[in-house]
Amino acid sequence: MNPAASLPHSLARRALLAGLALAAALGAAGAHADTWPSRPITLIVPYSPGGNVDVMARWVAPELAKRLGQPVVIENAVGAGGVIGTDKASRARPDGYTLLLSVESSIVIARMVTPSTVKYDGLKDFEPVTLLGSQPLVLVGKPELTARDAQALYAEMKAAPGKYSYATSGVGTSLHLGGELLKQQGQVSMVHIPYRVGPQIVTDLAGNQIDLAVLPLSMVMQQVQAGKIKAFGVLGAVSPAMPGVPSLSSVKAWQGADVPVWQGIFVPTGTDPAIVARLNNELLDVLKSPELMKKFDDTGVTRMALGPKEFAAFLRREDAKFSAVVSRGKITAE
């Protein structure tokens, strides 16, 4: 017996209409995923043109556009260390037409060190799509330093607390937290000097104006190879781009001090899973491009190619790591 037949006529009619509405909604959702994309896509980059994040976007966007059959337009939404652009992306419609290319500082760290001004939650307000690439941070020093390797430098730090200063691109950045992690694990004292402009750090290092710095590998490769600054080691595994630079794990107290800088693609939470899956598949193909792989190799970037689930797990580990460093160091950028 049909259950609807035993209902009063008005109730049966309402049940029928509700069923038809549900079927129509499901059909529309499927059609939306099938027809996406039907217009240009915006890729928000929350950093200035010409920087590392922007360069990655300009490598990836044209290749992604070819595969999607629609333009991918880069929008540099700059300010507050990446927070303004990231916040804008978090408030975009979750329809697959707004993507975000962002990094650890704005996705994971910003809300920890500036909780009163960062209104989004990078782990809740975004769906991770693809982790594109990463590179290690490097502890580098001025040419005049007497220490020849990380072990000797560590011994000098232990013997003379507060003697050494180290520069980064700002308070609360991943570079700052990398240096703070070395301090905490090694139980050494260094004075943090935040800069506003990263390239100036390299210039001041080469001129013996500052002692040490924690910087991304790509920023120091040429100067290290030219002998203009010293490289004591990477915060993580040895990079194939500079196999002559050891890991800082050669110092027992610094084992496990692994701090990469990474770049990934996100969409606002609520985006159709079919769109997320399509984006990830296309981006994985982009990362297999020989031209892009060469660019990664030349700049010391390791291709990661992690999909949504693996990327989400990676973000949870990053969140736990940086949260511990911020808490122990009582770090705030406010």
The answer to whether 135 and 301 are in contact (CB under 8 A) is yes
Is residue 120 scored above 70 in pLDDT?
yes
First to last CA, the chain: 68
Q: What is the pLDDT of residue 9?
A: 53
Q: What is the pLDDT of residue 1?
A: 47
pTM of the model: 0.84
Q: What is the pLDDT of residue 99?
A: 98
- Scan for tokens 């490289």, then name that residue: 231
Residues contacting 145, CB < 8 A, separation 6+: 153, 211, 212, 230
Q: What is the pLDDT of residue 50?
A: 85
The answer to whether 32 and 258 are in contact (CB under 8 A) is no
Query: Using only C-alpha atoms, what is the Rg of the chain?
Result: 24
Is residue 12 scored above 60 in pLDDT?
no
Q: Quick one: pLDDT band at residue 32, thresholds 50, 70, 90?
A: low
Q: What is the pLDDT of residue 302?
A: 92
User: Nearest Cα to 106, choosing from 88, 132, 94?
Assistant: 88
- Percent of all residues in the chain with a pLDDT value above 90, rounded to a whole number: 76
Residues contacting 222, CB < 8 A, separation 6+: none
Q: What is the pLDDT of residue 31?
A: 47
Q: What is the pLDDT of residue 52?
A: 85
Is residue 185 scored above 90 in pLDDT?
yes
Is residue 280 scored above 70 in pLDDT?
yes
Q: Quick one: pLDDT band at residue 2, thresholds 50, 70, 90?
A: very low
Is residue 316 scored above 70 in pLDDT?
yes
The letter for the amino acid at 30 is G
- What confidence tens digit (pLDDT) does each residue in 153-165 have? 999 999 999 999 9
Q: Quick one: pLDDT band at residue 264, thresholds 50, 70, 90?
A: very high
User: Nearest Cα to 209, choosing from 145, 149, 152, 147?
Assistant: 145
Is residue 33 scored above 70 in pLDDT?
no
Q: Determine which of 20-24, 60-64, 126-130, 260-264 has the lowest per-residue pLDDT on average.
A: 20-24
- Percent of all residues in the chain with a pLDDT value above 70, rounded to a whole number: 90
Q: What is the pLDDT of residue 334?
A: 72
Token pair of 105 as six digits: 């500082």
Domains of the chain plus CATH, in order, are 38-135+262-329 (3.40.190.150), 136-254 (3.40.190.10)
Q: What is the pLDDT of residue 300?
A: 87
Q: Determine which of 9-23, 34-48, 64-78, 182-196 has the lowest per-residue pLDDT on average.
A: 9-23
Distance of alpha carbon 198 from alpha carbon 48, whole angstroms:
13
Average confidence (pLDDT) over 203-228: 94
Is residue 203 scored above 50 in pLDDT?
yes
The answer to whether 140 and 215 are in contact (CB under 8 A) is yes
* CA dihedral of 301, 216, 152, 147, whole degrees rounded to 10: 110
Mean pLDDT score of the chain: 90
Residues contacting 15, CB < 8 A, separation 6+: 4, 7
The letter for the amino acid at 211 is D
Is residue 20 scored above 90 in pLDDT?
no
The answer to whether 106 and 197 are in contact (CB under 8 A) is no
Q: What is the pLDDT of residue 80?
A: 86
Q: H/E element holding 73? A: strand 72-76
Whether the bond between 37 and the residue before it is cis, its omega within 30 degrees of 0, is yes
Distance of alpha carbon 267 from alpha carbon 280, whole angstroms:
11
